[in-house]
């Protein structure tokens, strides 16, 4: 008690209320804390992608050259020495225009002889005709014999046959002389000149190459593939390498049925729309196309993940929980992957948000990919 009396004045001197030094009254009950949200938070909304088999297309880029749809190689029917070539590569020619000539001295001499033979045969035929007329008249008057008339008719027939033969030889000589001049068969552009004046060429040896003005085509050589047949009729966008800002359109018009044994490739021809532009002949060109690639399953690249060392996707089950599903990828394309196996039509996989998945995680399905 002595210590209590001593402590009380000290407390009063310090200004401490007396109640503070006395036992405190019971405090009111504390309200319980509100229950917290689950540790996982709200379900994650992810993009769901329906798995379905559909016709696929394959984006390809090709490199080739532009040429004429119809090319013509010109040559002399008969060999000889070239005396002149009247055109150069790049010249535009019209139908019937002389392009080159060979030495035609022999052909001219042969024509002169043939024409002289025709003149002689015509004279002989006239004489035989006159003789036949006289023999016929004499027989009619009774001063000639039937044998003489028959002989005159035979002589006339022989003379007419010789005249026909002479005219045939003259026509042949005239054609031979004409063949010494190489002419354009139709309106075209000269693409190549493979001989020079003074050169001796053989029969049918190419002298000039022409591109008919019927249209242009792009020629590509591709590795053999079973799917090439499906390219027929596909639309192709073309751009000359030297003029990348220029755009051309075309259609696959021909696919070679056989592989070129020299290159091991298949020739694909694309008919270019629009009129022929001679400036494009021989130009290198890049073609891009979307060609049929059969049927398959195509998924966005965002759906792809990895399971161990293999590609996989997250399959969404009926309870909205995900499970890993290894897949086999056939090929990778821009923005998508083509899956060969691992998922089937009717299933749903995670697209956007697949990087946040773990086995058994429950998700909320978001907007499906259109």
| Residue 182 predicted with pLDDT over 60 | yes
Contact present, 153 and 139 (Cβ < 8 Å) = no
CATH architecture of 42-69+215-370: Beta Barrel (2.40)
| Nearest-angstrom CA–CA distance, 167 and 6 | 166
**What pLDDT, on a 0 to 100 scale, did the predictor assign at position 56?**
77
| Residue 337 predicted with pLDDT over 70 | yes
| Residue 184 predicted with pLDDT over 50 | yes
**What pLDDT, on a 0 to 100 scale, did the predictor assign at position 36?**
34
Tell me the pLDDT tens digit for each residue of 293-315: 777 888 888 888 888 888 999 88
Beta-sheet pairing, 53-68 with 284-300? antiparallel
**What pLDDT, on a 0 to 100 scale, did the predictor assign at position 215?**
84
**What pLDDT, on a 0 to 100 scale, did the predictor assign at position 238?**
92
**What pLDDT, on a 0 to 100 scale, did the predictor assign at position 367?**
62
Mean pLDDT of 20-28: 36
Please state the domain extents for the chain: 42-69+215-370, 71-102+181-210, 105-179
Mean confidence (pLDDT) of the chain = 82
Residue 122, φ and ψ in degrees, nearest 5:
-65, -40
Candidate ranges 17-26, 41-50, 182-191, 288-297; pick with highest mean pLDDT? 182-191
**What pLDDT, on a 0 to 100 scale, did the predictor assign at position 199?**
93
113 versus 363: the higher-pLDDT residue is 113
Q: Which of 2, 25, 22, 1 is nearest to 11 (CA)?
A: 22
**What pLDDT, on a 0 to 100 scale, did the predictor assign at position 369?**
55
**What pLDDT, on a 0 to 100 scale, did the predictor assign at position 346?**
83
| Nearest-angstrom CA–CA distance, 56 and 295 | 5
In this structure, of 117-121, 207-211, 284-288, 336-340, the range with the lowest mean pLDDT score is 336-340
| Residue 233 predicted with pLDDT over 70 | yes
Tell me the pLDDT tens digit for each residue of 104-150: 888 899 999 999 999 999 999 999 999 999 988 888 888 888 898 88
| Residue 33 predicted with pLDDT over 90 | no
**What pLDDT, on a 0 to 100 scale, did the predictor assign at position 370?**
55
* Confidence band, pLDDT 50/70/90 cuts, at residue 317: confident
| Nearest-angstrom CA–CA distance, 273 and 289 | 15
In this structure, of 62-71, 187-196, 258-267, 293-302, the range with the lowest mean pLDDT score is 293-302
Beta-sheet pairing, 248-255 with 235-240? antiparallel
**What pLDDT, on a 0 to 100 scale, did the predictor assign at position 50?**
84
In this structure, of 125-139, 175-189, 351-365, the range with the lowest mean pLDDT score is 351-365
**What pLDDT, on a 0 to 100 scale, did the predictor assign at position 53?**
84
CATH architecture of 71-102+181-210: Beta Barrel (2.40)
């Amino acid at each position: 008690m002595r210590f209590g009396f001593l402590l009380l004045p000290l407390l009063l001197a310090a200004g401490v209320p007396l109640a503070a030094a006395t036992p405190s009254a019971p405090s009111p009950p504390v309200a319980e804390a509100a229950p917290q949200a689950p540790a996982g938070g709200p379900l994650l909304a992810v993009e769901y992608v329906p798995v379905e088999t559909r016709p696929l297309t394959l984006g390809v880029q090709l490199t080739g050259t532009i040429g004429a749809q119809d090319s013509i190689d010109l040559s002399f029917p008969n060999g000889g020495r070239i005396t002149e070539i009247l055109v150069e590569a790049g010249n535009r020619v019209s139908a019937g225009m002389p392009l080159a000539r060979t030495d035609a001295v022999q052909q001219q001499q042969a024509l002169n002889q043939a024409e002289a033979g025709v003149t002689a045969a015509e004279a002989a035929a006239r004489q035989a005709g006159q003789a036949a007329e006289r023999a016929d008249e004499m027989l009619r008057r009774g001063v000639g014999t039937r044998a003489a008339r028959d002989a005159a008719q035979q002589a006339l027939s022989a003379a007419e046959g010789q005249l026909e033969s002479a005219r045939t030889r003259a026509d042949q000589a005239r054609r031979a002389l004409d063949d010494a001049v190489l002419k354009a068969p139709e309106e075209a552009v000269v693409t190549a000149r493979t001989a020079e004046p003074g050169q001796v060429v053989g029969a049918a040896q190419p002298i000039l190459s022409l591109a008919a003005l019927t249209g242009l085509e792009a020629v590509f050589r591709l590795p053999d593939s079973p799917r090439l047949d499906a390219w027929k009729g596909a639309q192709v966008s073309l751009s000359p390498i030297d003029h990348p800002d220029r755009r051309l359109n075309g259609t696959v018009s021909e696919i070679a049925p056989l592989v070129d044994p020299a290159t091991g490739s298949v020739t694909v021809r694309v008919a270019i729309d629009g009129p022929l532009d001679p400036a494009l002949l021989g130009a290198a060109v890049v073609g891009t196309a979307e060609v049929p690639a059969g049927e398959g399953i195509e998924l966005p690249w965002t759906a792809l993940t990895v399971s161990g060392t293999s590609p996989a996707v997250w399959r969404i089950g009926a309870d909205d929980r995900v499970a890993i599903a290894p897949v086999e990828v056939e090929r990778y394309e821009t923005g998508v992957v083509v899956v060969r196996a691992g998922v089937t039509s009717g299933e749903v996989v995670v697209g956007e948000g697949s990087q946040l998945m773990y086995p058994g995680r429950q998700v909320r399905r978001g907007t499906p990919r259109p």
